[in-house]
Structure 1
Amino acid sequence: MNVLILAAGLGTRLRPLTSDVPKPLVPVVDASILEQQAVKANGIGNVRLHANAHYLAEQVVAEGKRLGFEKVWVEPEILGTAGPLKRIYNEGYRGGLLIMNGDAYCSFDLKAFVENAKRTFASAQDGSAPGVALLAVDFPKVNTFRVNKDGRLVGIAGRFGSEEGAAATFSGVSYYSDEALARIADGEFDIREFWKQEIAAGRPPFVDMSQMNATWIDMGSPEGLMAACRARLDELGVDSWTDERVAVTRDSIVFAGATVGEGETVENEIRGKGFSWKI
């Protein structure tokens, strides 16, 4: 199975921290999200790791090489989500494709998700078998998914389809069969348009709601980065962490290059070279 970690974003919400380092490589305590996602993906077993890159792509390429990625796909222009998926398929990679985000700290059981997706694909009636599985979380501020009683996507609030059904948020984690990847049109950028087409064709994506209460944090904002670091400290079972890149406590993050006065205590703040964010 192939795994694609989406890592091409511009990281604008974390500027100027991301002026010199792409968002997926920002340390979240002891390791970047890219590295943490790679470790989780490798835990499934027998996977080939891929990432896409655009902003400061050379850094992502170098890190992918260090982490043993099959390939980092450099995009001269951002291709949305659908573009990178079809690109991997067109290059001949087969065996299914798991998608993960390079800006989400999470505690999902990825192996269980993929196994559940495959069982659902196999058990569906001919002609209605989905080739797409979407992992959902409960995040009331963004619960735009609408899911019917059979666990199928029927709409996205404010965008298309039914407004009825159980509400959920897309976690960014998804799984595509080879057959589904073949149906993505060349030049398609917006993956939501593909889901809409699959619904219209009688193959609505399966929405896995079995991990709705798992940890899921968007670390792409200062507040999200702080929350992700706290969660990582909990995962490591420590109250603080210091290395050459960053010093983290439960209420502060100080990156290398930050100015800290003699005897000063940094609290409720993220501080780096030339910036300070109160949290």
Structure 2
Amino acid sequence: MMNVLILAAGLGTRLRPLTLDMPKPLVPVVDASVLELQAQKARQLGEVVLHVNAHYLADQVEAEAARLGFEKVWLEPEILGTAGPLSRIYRAGYRGGLLVMNGDAYCQFDLARFVEAAVSAGADFALLGVDFPKVNTLRVDSRGRLSGVLKNFGESEGEAVTFSGVSWYSDAALSRMDAAEFNIVNFWKSEVDAGRPPFVDMSQKDALWIDMGSPEGLKRACDARREELGIDSWVGNAPSADSRFVRSVVKCVADIPADASFTDSILYEGATVQPGESVVREIRGRGFCWKL
């Protein structure tokens, strides 16, 4: 049975003050948090064991993980980077390979296709690449193997892609991971240097992938989720056809004046709206207003 780890220990600093009240993986993206959406995608693989790590506002992550049926919440007194949590899971006796996903990215990858490609490639681990020119730092050789990471190690030539945050590690790879390692890129380098470069799957490089760590990314994620659900607006806990709401997500229904209107906006709990106000391309919450 394969293990799945969703990384959820980050501080979410780019989304403060929204993330002063909740960790970024629990920020609602229309009808569900990214943590819940990632768990749903993971379960489409079949029988999996769900893990999540937690540090910032860990009690909230623990409560949500319990509600969603996670096997284990790995509490981190201090942030261990990416390599640390992976090694901990293996050293605790979990076997069957490990699929790793980010708790701050909205994506529409075919995970089953990625895992199948990873296993078929014959490498001990694999990375899922996307085309995001601003940060296309991975370099991939003609065999589809990682040859370098720009400004870090290895070759500067080869096809360039961005690491999506989705990866798969076999038990063999995890057994070689140093428990004290913080930066996963250091492990990648050691494996490349040892002649065991990971496979980089680029077959889904044009699939939807959104880093929702900024206000703009959060808005794009909500827009993509509305499109995926086939709805124009979401108000409270359900889709809405009310003409006052156009391409908007409104969570603070109790605080909305009856004559206010909203276009291309997101309102979280604690947002302030004045009677008769027309809110256009904004994200609001308790004590903040981001104009997009």
Residue 211 (structure 1) aligns with:
204
Aligned residues: 271
Residue 195 (structure 2) aligns with:
202
Structure 1 residue 132 displacement after superposition: 1.1
Q: What letter corresponds to residue 9 of structure 2 in structure 1?
A: A
Q: What letter corresponds to residue 42 of structure 2 in structure 1?
A: A
Secondary structure of the residue aligned to 2:203 is: coil
Structure 1 residue 244 displacement after superposition: 5.8
Task: Provide, for residues 141-160 of structure 1, a one-character-per-residue CA deviation record: whole Å limited to 9, x for no partner.
Answer: 00011000100000011111
Q: What letter corresponds to residue 207 of structure 1 in structure 2?
A: V
CA contact (8 A) 2:263 2:279 kept: no
Runs of 5+ unmatched residues, structure 2: 239-248, 252-261
Residue 110 (structure 2) aligns with:
109
> What are the equivalent positions in structure 2 for 1:265-276 lying under 5 Å apart?
265-276=278-289
> What are the equivalent positions in structure 2 for 1:1-279 lying under 5 Å apart?
1-121=2-122, 130-243=123-236, 247=250, 251-279=264-292
Task: Provide, for residues 55-79 of structure 1, a one-character-per-residue CA deviation record: whole Å limited to 9, x for no partner.
Answer: 0000000000000000111100000
Secondary structure of the residue aligned to 1:111 is: helix
Alpha-carbon distance in structure 2 between the residues aligned to 1:266 and 1:42 = 38
Structure 1 residue 251 displacement after superposition: 1.4
CA contact (8 A) 1:3 1:97 kept: yes
Alpha-carbon distance in structure 2 between the residues aligned to 1:189 and 1:32 = 27
Alpha-carbon distance in structure 1 between the residues aligned to 2:263 and 2:218 = 12
Task: Provide, for residues 227-252 of structure 1, a one-character-per-residue CA deviation record: whole Å limited to 9, x for no partner.
Answer: 00000000000111011696177611
CA contact (8 A) 1:137 1:211 kept: yes
CA contact (8 A) 1:48 1:69 kept: yes
Structure 1 residue 53 displacement after superposition: 0.2
Task: Provide, for residues 159-210 of structure 1, a one-character-per-residue CA deviation record: whole Å limited to 9, x for no partner.
Answer: 1100010000000000000000000012011100000000011000100000
Secondary structure of the residue aligned to 2:280 is: coil
Task: State the identity %.
Answer: 68
Alpha-carbon distance in structure 1 between the residues aligned to 2:137 and 2:286 = 38
Secondary structure of the residue aligned to 1:266 is: strand
Alpha-carbon distance in structure 2 between the residues aligned to 1:265 and 1:168 = 41
Runs of 5+ unmatched residues, structure 1: 122-129
CA RMSD of aligned residues (A): 1.2
CA contact (8 A) 2:31 2:237 kept: no
Structure 1 length-normalised TM: 0.95
CA contact (8 A) 2:148 2:156 kept: yes
Alpha-carbon distance in structure 2 between the residues aligned to 1:115 and 1:4 = 18
Alpha-carbon distance in structure 2 between the residues aligned to 1:265 and 1:215 = 31
Alpha-carbon distance in structure 1 between the residues aligned to 2:102 and 2:210 = 11
Secondary structure of the residue aligned to 2:45 is: coil
Residue 126 (structure 1) aligns with:
none
Alpha-carbon distance in structure 1 between the residues aligned to 2:223 and 2:61 = 25
Structure 2 length-normalised TM: 0.91
Alpha-carbon distance in structure 2 between the residues aligned to 1:255 and 1:20 = 11
Alpha-carbon distance in structure 2 between the residues aligned to 1:144 and 1:81 = 17
Q: What letter corresponds to residue 67 of structure 1 in structure 2?
A: L
